Structure formats: structure tokens, C-alpha cells
């Protein structure tokens, strides 16, 4: 039985929009730099525990360069970065709203693999509200349908019980422990590897 889909989205390259009950997810726009920089500064300590050893710079220049790169990569189909905004604030008159989450499909491989790596973070102020579930679920649906990917892989540090619970709720399988897998905070950290295939997503048990 196919899974219930999210609200009808708009999907057209950089014009892609994914809707959930509370969120609008989209590729970064050129005028989102200030919002992204604010989110990175606000969550610097929060992200330091899970991000690679060199965290994304929060300077406006560095963020603008990252936005430009993410837009190019989205168009090429090599990385799909989505930023999440609360829908009620999706288009305020005073300018772009706050970024509350980011979900990324990186390292997209075509050919025989048809896979990508799944990464995500949620603003610390919004943890425990179910926004991560909404955001990640919408991007998985995009990955398995529009992007036509077959496999997603997520690497999670063993202590991160909240993230483990999230991917398990979304149907990911535990595949094993990768020793000293990623450099986080200047040290090589073990990560648990979870994976999900398109067959499991489209026809497996629905998330609870």
C-alpha cells in the first residue's frame, strides 16, 4: 500500500516547494542569506555536536557563497538542499522569515546506485515539536518520487537518540556501526548507519 502523500507541492527545479501541515520547504533563494546566517549563529553550539569539524560559517559573505553553490547543485541534481520555514510566516511583508530547519540530500549518485546521503537539522528552539518529522518526511518523498532515487543513507552518532528515533519512525533500517566515520568537533566519531530504499518507502509500512 502506497504511503499517504503530503499536500500537493510545486516542483520545478529551483521553484520546487514542498508543503507539510506546518512547513514550507524550498531550495535557498538569493535573498535568504540573512535568514540562514541568523539560524547558523543561533544554533552554533547546537550544531557543533553533530556537524563536521569545520561548521558552516555564519558570515553573510560565506553564507551567500554557500547559497549560490547550493542553487547550482540543486539545478545540476548533485545535491538537493531544502530550507524550512513556518508556513504562517512564509511570505511576511518585512522580508524573509526565520529558517527553522534544513534537510539535505547530498552526494547524489546516479548509475547503478541511484542513492544519496540524508542530513538534517532543526532550530534548537523548535526541537520536540515534530517539525523534523514533517520536514524530513517531505524531502524523502521528493527523493523517492521526483528525484527518482533508490536508496537514502543516514549516519547518526550513537548518543543521538532523538535522531535515531526519527529515522526509525520513517522506516529506515539499521545497517551497522561505522567506526570513526566522520570528523565532528575535531575528533573522528562513530556513526550508526541507517538506510531506506524506494520500495520500503513506497510500499512498506506507513510511518506511525
The CATH number given to whatever domain includes residue 117 is 3.40.630.30
**Residue 21 within any structural domain of the chain:** yes
**Residue 38 within any structural domain of the chain:** yes
Domain of 118, in residue numbers = 13-148
Rounded CA-CA distance 19/87 in Å is 8
User: Averaged in consecutive runs of 10 residues, what is the pLDDT profile of the chain (208 residues)?
Assistant: 47 88 94 92 89 73 92 95 84 69 96 95 93 97 95 96 96 96 90 96 70
**Residue 192 within any structural domain of the chain:** no
Helix-, strand-, coil-residue percentages of the chain, each rounded to 5: 35, 30, 35
**Residue 39 within any structural domain of the chain:** yes
pTM above 0.85, yes or no: yes
**Residue 107 within any structural domain of the chain:** yes
**Triad 91, 5, 156: Cα angle to 5°:** 85
H/E stretch holding 200: helix 198-203
Torsion-angle region of 7 (φ positive above 0: left; ψ -120 to 50: alpha; else: beta):
beta
The pLDDT tens digits for 168-184 are 999 999 999 999 999 98
The pLDDT tens digits for 30-71 are 889 999 999 999 999 888 888 875 566 778 888 999 999 999
**Residue 73 within any structural domain of the chain:** yes
- Say how many domains are in the chain: 1
**Residue 29 within any structural domain of the chain:** yes
**Residue 138 within any structural domain of the chain:** yes
Q: How far is CA 171 from the centre of its chain?
A: 16
Amino acid at each position: 500500500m502506497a504511503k499517504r502523500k503530503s499536500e500537493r507541492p510545486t516542483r520545478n527545479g529551483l521553484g520546487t516547494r514542498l508543503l507539510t501541515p506546518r512547513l514550507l520547504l524550498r531550495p535557498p533563494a538569493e535573498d535568504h542569506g540573512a535568514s540562514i546566517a541568523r539560524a547558523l549563529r543561533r544554533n552554533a553550539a547546537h550544531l557543533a555536536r553533530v556537524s563536521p569539524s569545520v561548521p558552516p560559517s555564519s558570515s553573510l559573505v560565506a553564507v551567500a557563497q554557500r547559497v549560490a553553490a547550493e542553487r547550482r547543485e540543486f539545478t545540476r541534481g548533485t545535491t538537493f538542499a531544502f530550507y524550512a520555514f513556518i508556513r504562517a510566516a512564509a511570505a511576511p511583508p518585512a522580508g524573509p522569515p526565520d529558517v527553522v530547519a534544513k534537510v539535505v540530500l547530498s552526494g547524489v549518485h546516479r548509475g547503478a546506485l541511484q542513492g544519496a546521503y540524508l542530513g538534517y537539522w532543526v532550530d534548537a528552539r523548535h526541537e520536540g515539536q515534530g517539525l523534523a518529522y514533517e520536514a524530513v518526511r517531505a524531502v524523502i518523498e521528493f527523493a523517492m518520487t521526483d528525484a527518482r532515487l533508490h536508496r537514502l543513507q543516514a549516519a547518526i552518532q550513537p548518543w543521538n537518540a532523538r535522531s535515531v528515533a526519527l529515522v526509525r519512525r520513517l522506516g529506515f533500517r539499521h545497517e551497522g556501526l561505522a567506526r570513526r566515520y566522520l570528523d565532528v568537533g575535531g575528533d573522528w566519531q562513530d556513526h550508526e548507519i541507517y538506510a531506506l530504499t524506494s520500495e520500503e518507502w513506497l510500499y512498506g509500512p506507513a510511518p506511525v
